[in-house]
């Protein structure tokens, strides 16, 4: 499926335009404090004409046959492009965590690291993350490393999503 650039897209969003759309796919979640599992994911990236993108991600744990077992991570946020190919990603999670990422863009690639993490008093211990997103063979590939639960920055998530709709 070819991606067509929206003529109403603010010029500031050009480095992030490849993210716009609906994506679906699967990946692997794991961490030293948990057993690795497969997960499914849907991501919707949109804009309303202003110079930011809206991000919504929903995930669920999959069984060995690819069936949904239970809900997993949910995040809502915004991508904010900045001058000089820099970018911010603001994310909120229903688990009591708010993250502010900062990083850079290059053609079909985004790399961000947490600048700050805010946790409610009842959220799990989580201190930092690094995310890498890329457009590879028309698919959204992404990985996340996380520092949490007393562990250093360690591989946590990876997925491959296909553009749909």
Structure tokens belonging to residue 149: 């639960």
As a whole-number percent, the residues of the chain with pLDDT over 90 amount to: 94
Residue 8 has pLDDT above 90, yes or no: no
- What integer is the mean pLDDT of 150-165? 96
pLDDT in tens, 99-145: 999 999 999 999 999 999 999 999 999 999 999 999 999 999 999 99
Residue 91 has pLDDT above 70, yes or no: yes
- Quickly state the pLDDT bin for 5 (edges 50, 70, 90): low
pLDDT in tens, 19-30: 999 999 999 999
Residue 94 has pLDDT above 90, yes or no: yes
pLDDT at 1: 44
Rounded to whole angstroms, the Cα distance separating 16 from 149 reads: 32
Task: Give the 3-state DSSP-derived string for 81-98, with helices as H, strands as E and coil as C.
Answer: EECCCEEEEEEEECCCEE
All residues at 6 or more sequence positions from 105 whose CB lies less than 8 Å from its CB, including other chains: 15, 16, 81, 85, 86, 87
pLDDT at 56: 98
- The DSSP line for 3-51 is ----TT--GGGGGGGGG-EEEEEEEEEEETTEEEEEEEEEEEEE--SSS
pLDDT at 110: 98
What are residue 108's phi and psi, to 5 degrees? 60, 30
Largest CA-CA distance found in the chain, in angstroms, rounded: 47
pLDDT in tens, 12-55: 999 999 999 999 999 999 999 999 999 999 999 999 999 999 99
Whether this prediction's pTM lies above 0.85 is answered by: yes
């Amino acid at each position: 499926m070819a991606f067509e650039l929206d003529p109403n897209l603010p010029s500031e969003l050009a480095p992030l335009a490849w993210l716009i759309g609906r994506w679906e796919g699967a990946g692997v979640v794991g961490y030293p404090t948990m057993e690795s599992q497969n997960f499914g994911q849907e991501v919707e990236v949109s804009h309303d004409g202003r110079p930011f993108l809206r991000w919504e991600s929903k995930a669920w744990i999959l069984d060995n046959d690819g069936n949904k077992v239970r809900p997993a991570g949910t995040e809502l946020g915004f991508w904010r492009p900045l001058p000089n190919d820099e970018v911010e990603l603001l994310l909120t999670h229903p688990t009591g965590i708010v993250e502010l990422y900062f990083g850079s863009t290059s053609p079909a690639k985004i790399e961000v690291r947490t600048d700050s993490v805010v946790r409610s008093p009842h959220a799990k211990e989580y201190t930092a993350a690094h995310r890498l997103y890329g457009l590879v063979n028309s698919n959204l590939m992404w990985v996340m490393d996380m520092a949490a639960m007393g562990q250093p920055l360690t591989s946590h998530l990876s997925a491959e999503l296909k553009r749909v709709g």
